Chain A
Amino acid sequence: MNILIVEDEQILAESIIKYLSQEGYHCEWASSFREASEKVHLYTYDCILVDINLPDGSGIKVIERLKSIKSKSGIIIISARNSVEDKIDGLNIGADDYLTKPFALSELNARVKSLIRRRNFDGSDEIVFKEITILPQERLVSIHGEPIRLTKKEYDLLLYFVSNPNRVITKESIAEHLWGDHMDMADSFDFIYAHLKNLRKKMIEKNGGDYIQTIYGVGYKFTRF
């Protein structure tokens, strides 16, 4: 899987590349509008991350360029601005998703995976993690072939974990993933704990393993033993 990262801040780009490479993606980097234009012309990518604020142009133009060459890459906009207009503009001209800085790398990873899944849908679109099978299109989860009923939040939580296996996931990023803007919501961490408890219980009931590990003071980890 090829990913192009269009971001002018080198250190940030490095972090993204490091994380995504560990997931097994092949990552390339463009630090300006010009570089990005060249690269998209020469290569195709499965997913392109575009920063709106580039020194020599707008990320929007990169997207327009991609659309004009009928690119099939998935496009995720990353931007420092939280303004609603940018979001709408970006999605209107054909971006698939939008992330505001600063974001958690685990969140970025989850979005990339989700986007690639959607784009490369060729019949079988399941995610398998040991005995857990997830069908994202239908939002169905089964353990050892047995379907298990999860609430929306429990499903989102499980999918987030499975997308970032063996990664330390901070409780903040979980809160933001589940509640987005409402992340500021009161007691969200107690909340997460409650949902996790329920999720664990349901999985164990179906004889699934307990993969959710608590990292004290930080968050959680979904690990294969």
Chain B
Amino acid sequence: MASTIPILIIGGILAFIILRGIINHEFNEKLFAEKKQFLYEWHTYDNIRETLYLNVGDKIEVKAVDRDPKIKSMLSDTTMYDSFEKKELPYRVLKFSDNLNEQYYIITITKSMLPTKDLITGVGQIILILIAGLVLSLGLVSRAISKKIWNPFNNTLFSLKNYQISTPVKINFAQTTIDEFKELNQVLSNMINKSRKDYVNLKEFTENASHEIQTPLAIIKSKAELLLQSGELDQENMEDVGKIYEAANRLSRLKQGLALLTQMDNNQFDEVEPIEMAEFIYKNFENYEELIAMKEISLTKTINGHPTLILNNTLTYVLITNLINNAIKHNLKQGFINLILNNDELILENSGTPLEGNPENYFQRFKKGAISDSSGLGLALVKKICDIYDMRISYSVNNQTHRIAIQF
């Protein structure tokens, strides 16, 4: 449809130009024919020399001159005032010279262009109306056909948009008689059902794995704890068992972190709600007040805006607590933490030991700094949550100031 319009327009313009050219040409032909006729009659019939206006509407002027002006034929356009129409009308003038009985004459034939002009205008208007009509009807018919044909496609699109793999509602495509779309729907259905199956399997697998790992872990922990109570271990043995217990604990926290990451991948945190960020962050900082006081860290909060973001509650909690944790854990005694909240970003700065390597690497799983009792997942969790909500996060270290900035 879109390609036919320029073709129609160019074609229309070309047709107009050609027609105009033809009409003009015909007019000029007539003018020249008149010249021929005039010369013939002028040379042949004596009494014509006295009659100056031969054709009604055409003006023929004969002027005697002394020398040979040598004008073969000269065409020019002019306008003259018409007393009847009471306005200036267009005329074309054919001027030529001739010799009769050893006297030179300049003859001009002036012919009205009005009918011709009217013809050209009329032709132009007809072409315009034709083109416009064609374009319009083409457009309407095209739209109507398009709608009818693409209806099942739009239905399919709608079904797809509303489908969520994390809910057990099966996808339903509207019936259609068009073969191509029938096939499309079939293929999509199969693909989606398979994806859903895979998703459910993966979800179950991670839940089962999680569950399965918990039990041996629980056994290790409980038996280690019982060993500690036995009273028959010497100091060294006690420490060994203590380390077993500690390792089991770390494993447990690690498993939890990984399970969280997997759950995020599976879109198991789809539910969102509006969260007022300033309030949320304040509340979470309260939990760390004692720790901050103990490390004599000075905390400054600068709130320049009150953004409310639509996020999942649990994920926001994980995000904020891991950020705060990170700021405290790697901080120095009597260090500082600066929290800056703008309408479009959250910045957390803290003093800390200089980092090895590129700070951005710390968003990878298990990348740890000097203090390695952490699981190494904290920042990975933070990054993943930022990715889910399309928030840009950056980590930079300047001297001994660590700075994490998240743009909403």
Please list the residues of chain A having a beta carbon within 8 angstroms of any beta carbon in chain B: 9, 11-12, 15-16, 18-19, 22, 53, 80-82, 84, 101-106, 153, 167-168, 170, 172-173, 179, 181-188, 190-191, 194, 215-219
Contact = CB atoms under 8 A, between A and B. Distances in A.
Given A22-B229, A102-B222, A218-B241, A186 B328 contact: yes
Interface stretch (B15-23, B34-42, B275-283, B284-292): B284-292
Contacts of B259: 82
B339 interface: no
Contacts of A170: 225, 228, 242, 245-246
Contacts of A53: 211
A80 B243 contact: no
8 contacts: A18-B226, A19-B225, A168-B229, A185-B328, A186-B325, A187-B294, A217-B242, A219-B228
A104 B211 contact: no
B217 A191 contact: no
A82 B248 contact: no
A186 to B, nearest CB: 3
A103 B214 CA distance: 10
Nearest to B235: A216
Interface in B222-242: 222-223, 225-226, 228-229, 235, 238-239, 241-242
Nearest to B328: A186
Interface of B: 207, 210-211, 214-215, 217-223, 225-226, 228-229, 235, 238-239, 241-243, 245-246, 248-249, 252-253, 256, 259, 287-288, 290-291, 294-295, 314, 321, 325, 328-329, 374-375
Contacts of A188: 291
B222 A217 contact: no
B113 to A, nearest CB: 90
Contact of A101 (B214, B291, B325, B329): B214
B211 A172 contact: no
B288 to A, nearest CB: 7
A190 B325 contact: no
A181 B128 CA distance: 78
A81 B211 contact: yes
B245 A101 contact: no
B226 to A, nearest CB: 6
B225 A105 contact: yes
Given A102-B248, A106-B225, A215-B228, 12 more contacts: A11-B219, A22-B229, A80-B211, A81-B207, A101-B217, A179-B287, A182-B288, A187-B294, A191-B294, A194-B294, A217-B242, A218-B238
Q: What 5 pairs across the A-B complex have the smallest Cβ distances? A: A186-B329, A218-B242, A15-B222, A102-B218, A217-B239
A19 B226 contact: yes
A84 B259 CA distance: 14
Contact of A12 (B215, B229, B241, B243): B215
Nearest to B263: A83
A219 B242 contact: yes
Contacts of B291: 185-188, 191
Q: Which of B214, B238, B294 has the most CB of A within 10 A?
A: B214
A16 B222 contact: yes
Contact of B252 (A102, A153, A182): A102
A217 B243 contact: yes
A16 B246 CA distance: 19
Nearest to B227: A168
A171 to B, nearest CB: 8
B218 A101 contact: yes
A130 B273 CA distance: 52
A153 B210 CA distance: 32
Nearest to A173: B225
A15 B210 contact: no
A12 B248 CA distance: 15
Contacts of A191: 290-291, 294
A11 B220 CA distance: 10
Which of A16, A170, A194 counts the most B-chain CB atoms under 10 A from its CB?
A: A170
A176 B207 CA distance: 23
Contact of B245 (A172, A186, A190): A172
Contact of A167 (B219, B229, B239): B229
Nearest to B318: A181
A104 B321 contact: no
A223 to B, nearest CB: 11
A104 B221 CA distance: 7
Instruction: Choose among B207, B242, B243, B321 the residue with the greatest number of A CB atoms under 10 Å from its CB.
Output: B242
A104 B210 contact: no
A22 B328 CA distance: 40
A153 B214 CA distance: 29
A123 B192 CA distance: 63
B238 A80 contact: no
A19 B228 CA distance: 11
B217 A102 contact: yes
B211 A187 contact: no
B280 to A, nearest CB: 15
Contact of B214 (A16, A80, A194): A80
A81 to B, nearest CB: 7
A9 B226 contact: no
A203 B154 CA distance: 75
B215 A153 contact: no
Given A191-B290, A191-B294, A185 B325 contact: yes
Contacts of B288: 182, 185
A108 B329 CA distance: 29
Contacts of A216: 235, 238-239
Given A184-B253, A186-B325, A219-B242, A168 B228 contact: yes
Nearest to B329: A186
Given A81-B210, A81-B211, A190-B294, A12 B222 contact: yes
A67 to B, nearest CB: 25
